[in-house]
Structure 1
Amino acid sequence: MTKNDPYAALRFKEFNIFLLVRFALVFGWSMQFVVIEWQVYAMTNDELSLGIIGLCEFLPAFFLAPIAGHIVDKKEKRNLFTLCIALFSLISFGLYWLTSSSLEEAWDTNTILYSIYGLVFFGGVLRSFFGPTIFSLIALLVPKKAYPNAATWSSSTWKGASVFGALCGGFLIAWINVHHTLGIIFLLVMLALILVFQIGKKPILNTKTNESVKESLKVGLRFVFNDKVILGALTLDMIAVLFGGAVAIFAVFAKDILDAGPKGFGVLNAALSSGSIITMLATTYIPITRSTGKKLLVSVVGFGVCMIIFGASRLMWLSVLALFFSGVFDGISMVIRQTILQLKTPDEMRGRVGAVNSMFVGSSNELGALESGIAARLFGAPLAVILGGTVTLLTVAVIGLKNKPLRQLDLRQDVEEHYEEGKEES
């Protein structure tokens, strides 16, 4: 394995299996998100109902994340990952059952709607564990010298699965209806559950068995909030997703503004992520370690500008183009953030740092869905997106001026140190 090997992480069998598992899960989860958003909006014709979906997933994902990080650091990662997947399969089957014709005839609309909200809430509980578990597991599947490359491939897989999941979700709704699409999602989750057993159990690196939950959480939070680089990177991504994102109200754009229908809905979802795939695959060949902080700031600016264009557009081709380039910038931002976290987080704290990452970024997806739903209800969907993009640009300006360590960040020395440590491990 050479120093700049673009396939460094792929030379380890278990990491390849992990990528397959993650692809199946994210592909299914992305389809499920698209299908449920479409189904709920079709049932209610109310933008706020889309925001409620985000709130149901945000609340447990955010408030349980610190405890989940503590548990992840104390437990064996492969078995914990397996348990999360098994429980996720129950959610997928539940949604499949709720959309069956027999149940729709037996139950009234509100009962089905509240049941969907309940399963989404349960999914938020699982999300609080998925993030830190996956973040911790990656570092146990490859040596330190392959961390940056592993972060890139993992992020690329996540984005790739998001693209095809969103695209297939929209098209499958039109072709085989919501119920059968959810059946396919359940089968994907079961496939992931089978594959995960091909990964062996991993050692527990946090040996402080007497550390209380309160002490553990303080250590994790103190580490993140004392590191201006990590805190700045997480804050940037959180604000961009929270205010700049518009995924939760794509159904409104597709149905009421662009008149694109379910197929157009799938295309909009896919366009946002498709640019990210190209970008993240390119970063396996073109490292982002030089002037890393400046590249991160520029990428978030680009994302905000593209979302403003999307909000103002009334043409399908321009909307798709704006979302594609927002995906390009989002892909750069994601790779940089994941690389920063992998290089700067001590092994024994990965669960807790991954949990804080989930609180900042993962949960902001759901909170952003609530924000988008409320803003769309108050101002209309186009103005809500334009305002969100503007807030993103203002945030970049403030962090760029105030956070000098992030602005001047260059990761070449960190990569060199991990490469040398990896050579010693070998």
Structure 2
Amino acid sequence: MPPLPPSSATVLPAGPAGSAFRHRSFKLFWCARVAGMLAVQMQVVAVGWQIYELTDSALALGMVGLFQFLPSLALALVAGHVVDSRDRRRVLLAAVGLQAVAIAALCVLTAAGALAAMPVLVYAVVAVIGAAKAFEGPGNQAILSALVPPADLPNAVAWNSSATQTAMVTGPALGGLLYIAGPAVVYATSALLLAGAVLFIALLRPRRVAQAPRAMSWESLMAGIGFIRGQRAILGAITLDMVAVLLGGATALLPVFARDILHVGPEGMGVLRAAPAIGAVAMAVVLARVGVRRHAGAWMLAGVAGFGAATVLFGLSTDPVLSFFALIAIGATDQVSVVVRMTLIQLATPDDVRGRVGAVNSLFIGASNQLGEFESGVAATLLGVVPAVVLGGVGAIALAAGWARLFPELRRIDRLTELR
């Protein structure tokens, strides 16, 4: 399928660049993202520590990621079709609401003692969360461009990323502290936060995008893949980010590092889990204020190489303070590639295929995160925890060098704003 031309149609005034927060709907969307991601990060800490306590198995930690990824894989193309043919706000409401119900179920099962008796129930619940996220990811990506004019979109992407990272700073630490009172308390708090996110989404008023119910067909399902295949720079950016995080998934093994190597307990694990987000928030604020002005493709490649180097440092560290700063560096360097990738996708994708392109992008993100957790668990079981993390970091460095040669279109990207 040939590449589709970027859409320039909009009913919003262009306005000065760099002012996404002057739009009410974007403010509500940002608050929904903070609340939703805060809930997810708290839940991740609780599930990770709880399943490791119940099973004492690194592989069991990896299985949590696998069971969350598989529904995303199965539903990705269908989710993209739904987002492009239905009201995107309503799709988001349903997806976030389902996550709230699933996490509330974790609270009930924990309080009743069912998870202690049968830990595999965790996998069933996280699979439901994965199914909801299959629709939430493309829904979030598709609706963002309808909340601000094109001139404000790079700034909105950076601030949207900062919403995620802000929640990732406070969520794990708060989850670790609340875990002292028991995992059921963490799950109850997470469910309430997701209920708040549902309210914020219900108040959104995005601009109207021409959408019509369409019959589901193979051509429609594959439109997102076809678009990405025709855009070599986008293909290179998505696959680079996916494989790098897949290789360097150190955070999936944080319960092992926190308990057995750094000896800092669940509270310390919450702080360590927040460290990458501290680095990412700092970098997101810098990028939101000054942007990636020139050589965006080269900066993305450098960010991935830096991510790999920081991962190696974390894997070799036995000092909690050094590990904390290594994780900060992991988050900061990863944020560079995230902002470049998301801005590239937002500016180059036409409205009528945003959902399907977003679904493919979300699938790749899910593969790097949830499948990366499974890969880390398997590698740690076979090689040991430290060798698995160090080799993953070395692999990310080699990947950046390889992608610079394999995708020269990505390396040559200069100013992102020229893509509009």
* 1:232 matches 2:218: no
| 1:82-93 superposed matches below 5 A | 82-93=93-104
2:184 to 166, 179, 184: 179
Q: What secondary structure sits across from 1:314 in the alignment?
A: coil
Paired position in structure 1 for 2:10: none
* 1:197 matches 2:208: no
| 1:26-425 superposed matches below 5 A | 26-100=37-111, 103-104=112-113, 107=114, 109-111=116-118, 113-174=119-180, 176-200=181-205, 203-207=208-212, 209-210=213-214, 212-414=216-418, 418=420
How many angstroms does 1:413 deviate by?
Answer: 5.0
Q: For 2:34 and 2:363, locate their aligned partners in 1 and report how far apart those are by CA, in whole Å.
A: 22
1:187 aligned partner, one-letter code:
L
Evaluate the alpha carbon distance shift between residue 413 and residue 78 of structure 1 in structure 2; reply closer, same or farther with a 3 A threshold: closer
- Any gaps of 5 or more consecutive residues in structure 1? 419-426
- Residues 76, 203 of structure 1: 8 Å contact kept: no
Evaluate the alpha carbon distance shift between residue 412 and residue 108 of structure 1 in structure 2; reply closer, same or farther with a 3 A threshold: closer
- Residues 98, 116 of structure 1: 8 Å contact kept: no
Paired position in structure 2 for 1:17: 28
1:185 aligned partner, one-letter code:
S
- Residues 142, 358 of structure 2: 8 Å contact kept: yes
Q: For 2:416 and 2:99, locate their aligned partners in 1 and report how far apart those are by CA, in whole Å.
A: 39
How many angstroms does 1:362 deviate by?
Answer: 2.5
- Residues 73, 204 of structure 1: 8 Å contact kept: no
- Residues 41, 50 of structure 1: 8 Å contact kept: yes
2:357 aligned partner, one-letter code:
V
Q: For 2:286 and 2:240, locate their aligned partners in 1 and report how far apart those are by CA, in whole Å.
A: 22
- Residues 78, 202 of structure 1: 8 Å contact kept: no
Q: For 1:108 and 1:2, locate their aligned partners in 2 and report how far apart those are by CA, in whole Å.
A: 52
Q: Deviations over 1:273-312 (max 9, x none)?
A: 1111011111122121410000000000000000001001
- Residues 16, 151 of structure 2: 8 Å contact kept: no
- Residues 115, 121 of structure 2: 8 Å contact kept: no
1:10 aligned partner, one-letter code:
F
How many angstroms does 1:412 deviate by?
Answer: 4.7
- Residues 93, 186 of structure 1: 8 Å contact kept: yes
- Residues 74, 204 of structure 1: 8 Å contact kept: no
- CA RMSD across the alignment: 1.7
- Residues 77, 222 of structure 2: 8 Å contact kept: no
Q: For 1:291 and 1:336, locate their aligned partners in 2 and report how far apart those are by CA, in whole Å.
A: 10
Q: Percent identity?
A: 36
How many angstroms does 1:93 deviate by?
Answer: 0.7
Q: For 2:376 and 2:50, locate their aligned partners in 1 and report how far apart those are by CA, in whole Å.
A: 18
How many residue pairs get matched? 408
Please say which of residues 282-291 and 18-27 is displaced more in the overlay.
Answer: 282-291
How many angstroms does 1:200 deviate by?
Answer: 2.9
Q: Deviations over 1:3-43 (max 9, x none)?
A: 7743x110100110011011100000011011101000010
Q: For 2:99 and 2:115, locate their aligned partners in 1 and report how far apart those are by CA, in whole Å.
A: 25
- Any gaps of 5 or more consecutive residues in structure 2? 1-12
1:234 aligned partner, one-letter code:
I
How many angstroms does 1:222 deviate by?
Answer: 1.1
Q: For 2:132 and 2:386, locate their aligned partners in 1 and report how far apart those are by CA, in whole Å.
A: 32
TM norm structure 1: 0.92
- Residues 16, 152 of structure 2: 8 Å contact kept: no
- Residues 75, 134 of structure 2: 8 Å contact kept: yes
How many angstroms does 1:331 deviate by?
Answer: 1.3
